[in-house]
Amino acid sequence: MKNKLLPLTLAFALIISFIGYHEENISKALGFDVQWNQKAHEIKTKIVDQNKEVNYSVGGEQEMNAVLQKQLEDIVEEYELAGVQVAAVNEKGTIVSGNAGKHSLEDKTEIDDNTILRSASVSKAFTAVATMQLVEQQQIDLDADINDYLELEVDIKHPEYPDTNITPRMLLNHSSGMTNGTYVSFASNSINRGNRQKTPPSLSEVFDEEGEFYSNSIWSEYKPGEKFIYTNLGYIVLGAIVENVSGMNFDEYTNENIFNPLGMNSSSFNINDLRNSRRGRDRDRIAPLYRRTVEYIDQEESVESKKSTIKDNEKTLENKDQQHNRQRQVHFRGTNFGDLPEFSNYRPGRNGSLYSPQGGLFTTATDLAKFASAMINGGEYQGNRILEQETIELMKQVSVSSCAQDWTDFDGLFKKQGLGLHITDELLEDGITLYGHPGIAYGLLSGVYFTDHTEQTEQSRRENNFGIVYLINGANTEIPGSSDTFYEIEEEIAKTVYDSLYDSIKKAGEH
């Protein structure tokens, strides 16, 4: 791999320009500083064939594990990550999965398949699925006025275009004219007020011009349906719609209709569902997320005399690009997530933000692999269906490709958008079209992407249809990728997982 160091000023600019596209705000959090630990490069990998269609020989599996193990270990060390979970899937389930680094830098515990991470905006794909399930049941019309599915004190209307209805379709593809606006303040206050009063504020307080959280910044100058503007607030509104139409809290709806059918037993939008000890050990399965920063420190000794040193939880690296006596240190600042209030007086559909449909899914790479497998298998996983194939095809159609770049261009990441699904050919170097969603928050980078079921023949589907999943806990966001859309670490991990998937299939055919 090439030298990964960029000047600090450029790195800072890249981080600031890119980080805006995902939420990072509402859970109770405790921050703490941790410096890089060289000993964090321990790893576990495995190959799973849940339907036993592929029989791996012991030698082949050990060889495959060793290759993936070394690759992930090298990635964690070179990019100075806290930890990473990965998985690659086809229609039949998880084929390859692996973990490297640490669950907790403080406790020096290893990340593994049971480690649960907050997945950030990967969550939006699940909010989209929940919405489309209700569309299938004819409880929601994609092109109806969203106010038909809400019972708020005010209607949600763009003040400059009051005669233009905002529709569920527009919320799904980020073309409603909404921005992020005051969603951070609203969501944070909803949790805090729920702690104190057990009754969070109404979503009306965001859209009523006299409301506590109203601001002109909620709306762009664009007419609903005209331009793509990435909006977390729009997905909070979708969460409220799902709640009001189903009569269930958002976490309960997704548990019953998505996670339970897919066997995603380590996933929930409610952190309280996942608080338990693991395998008899007194340990929280939910890992902190780490923001990673780099510091350059002047040193008295000459450049020639400087050496890399390791002590306690600190790794100090010589910065060879600097001409003077400077050392480069990598720091991690961790965020823990607290329990949610009970919200005993909450009526579903009144708030929408409590379970963070825009970014609050806690999950694992292997659970996300089950979701990806279902999506490439026409909505079905191991006999359990969450969507009809026709619905998935509709979600994958490009529904908006005109981005309002004066608001949110994200370095061109969102060039094409389906209904709740990001469409890209820039993550893998082969230019393969992928559908799914990325995430970034609190130092985490995440992604779940899959190929198009219908683009392959029956004979080639097993070889060509696949999904890849990554959750990076404390990511290196200094270095842009080859297309300046994804980060280089995302491209590196995606390629590694993709190659491992097809190595495993090839070896299966040889034994």
For the stretch 216-253, pLDDT in tens is 999 999 999 999 999 999 999 999 999 999 999 999 99
Q: Between 313 and 238, name the one with better pLDDT.
A: 238
Q: What pLDDT does residue 6 have?
A: 42
Closest CA to 436 of 142, 131, 128, 228: 128
Q: What pLDDT does residue 266 have?
A: 95
- Determine the longest span between alpha carbons in the chain, in angstroms: 72
Q: What pLDDT does residue 226 have?
A: 92
CA distance linking residue 23 with residue 233, whole number of Å = 10
CA distance linking residue 120 with residue 237, whole number of Å = 17
How confident is the model over 26-68, as pLDDT tens digits? 333 333 344 433 333 333 333 333 333 332 222 344 555 567 7
Of the chain, the end-to-end C-alpha distance in Å amounts to 32
Q: Which residues pair with 316 in a beta bridge?
A: 309, 329
Q: Label residue 481 by pLDDT band (50, 70, 90).
A: confident
Each as own residue / partner, the long-range contacts of residues 431-435 (CB below 8 Å, 24 or more positions apart, any chain) are 434/468, 435/375, 435/395, 435/396
Question: Which phi and psi angles does 372 have, rounded to 5°?
Answer: -60, -40
How confident is the model over 186-200, as pLDDT tens digits? 999 999 887 777 789
Q: What pLDDT does residue 319 have?
A: 42
Is the pLDDT reported for residue 215 higher than 90?
A: yes
**Burial, 431: exposed, middle or buried (Cβ in 10 Å; 0-12, 13-18, 19+)?**
exposed
Q: Label residue 300 by pLDDT band (50, 70, 90).
A: low
Q: What pLDDT does residue 508 have?
A: 55
Q: What are the structure tokens assigned to 164, written together? A: 């233009």
DSSP labels, 25-56:
--S---EEEEE--GGG--EEEEE--TT--S--
**Overall fold of domain 127-261:** Beta-lactamase (3.40.710)
Q: Label residue 152 by pLDDT band (50, 70, 90).
A: very high
Which span out of 104-113, 119-128, 300-309, 412-421 was modeled with the highest average pLDDT?
A: 119-128
Q: Label residue 407 by pLDDT band (50, 70, 90).
A: low
CA distance linking residue 440 with residue 410, whole number of Å = 12
How confident is the model over 119-136, as pLDDT tens digits? 999 999 999 999 999 999
Q: Which of 17-26, 164-173, 416-425 has the lowest mean pLDDT?
A: 17-26
Calculate mean pLDDT across residues 420-428: 93
CA dihedral 294, 299, 302, 306 (to 10 degrees): -50
CATH of span 40-111+274-284+362-510: 3.40.710
How confident is the model over 336-373, as pLDDT tens digits? 988 888 888 899 999 999 999 999 999 999 999 999 99
CA distance linking residue 341 with residue 486, whole number of Å = 35
Q: Between 208 and 47, name the one with better pLDDT.
A: 208
Q: Which of 261-270, 403-412, 481-490 has the lowest mean pLDDT?
A: 403-412
Q: Between 319 and 64, name the one with better pLDDT.
A: 64
**Could you give the residue range(s) of every CATH 3.40.710.10 domain in the chain?**
127-261
Q: Label residue 283 by pLDDT band (50, 70, 90).
A: very low
Calculate mean pLDDT across residues 155-177: 97
Q: How far is CA 297 from CA 34, 317, 357, in A?
A: 17, 11, 41
Averaged pLDDT of the chain = 79
Q: Which residues pair with 290 in a beta bridge?
A: 334
Residue 78's contacts (CB-CB under 8 Å, 6 or more residues apart) are 1, 4
The answer to whether the beta carbons of residues 50 and 93 sit under 8 Å apart is yes
| Residue 52, phi-psi category: left (phi > 0), alpha (psi -120 to 50), beta (remainder) | left
Q: What pLDDT does residue 131 have?
A: 98
CA distance linking residue 365 with residue 98, whole number of Å = 9
pLDDT > 70 in the chain, percent:
73
Q: What pLDDT does residue 279 have?
A: 35
Has this prediction a pTM greater than 0.95? no
The answer to whether the beta carbons of residues 375 and 467 sit under 8 Å apart is yes
Q: What are the structure tokens assigned to 52, written together? A: 């036993």
Q: Between 115 and 4, name the one with better pLDDT.
A: 115
Q: What pLDDT does residue 343 have?
A: 85
Q: What pLDDT does residue 307 have?
A: 35
Calculate mean pLDDT across residues 144-172: 97
CA atoms within 13 A on the CB side of 495: 17
Q: Label residue 501 by pLDDT band (50, 70, 90).
A: confident
- Residue keyed to tokens 């002590």: 311
Calculate mean pLDDT across residues 98-110: 91
Q: What pLDDT does residue 452 have?
A: 83
Q: What pLDDT does residue 269 have?
A: 97
- Residue keyed to tokens 């893998």: 428
Is the pLDDT reported for residue 320 higher than 50?
A: no
Q: What pLDDT does residue 217 have?
A: 93
Please count the residues of the chain. 511
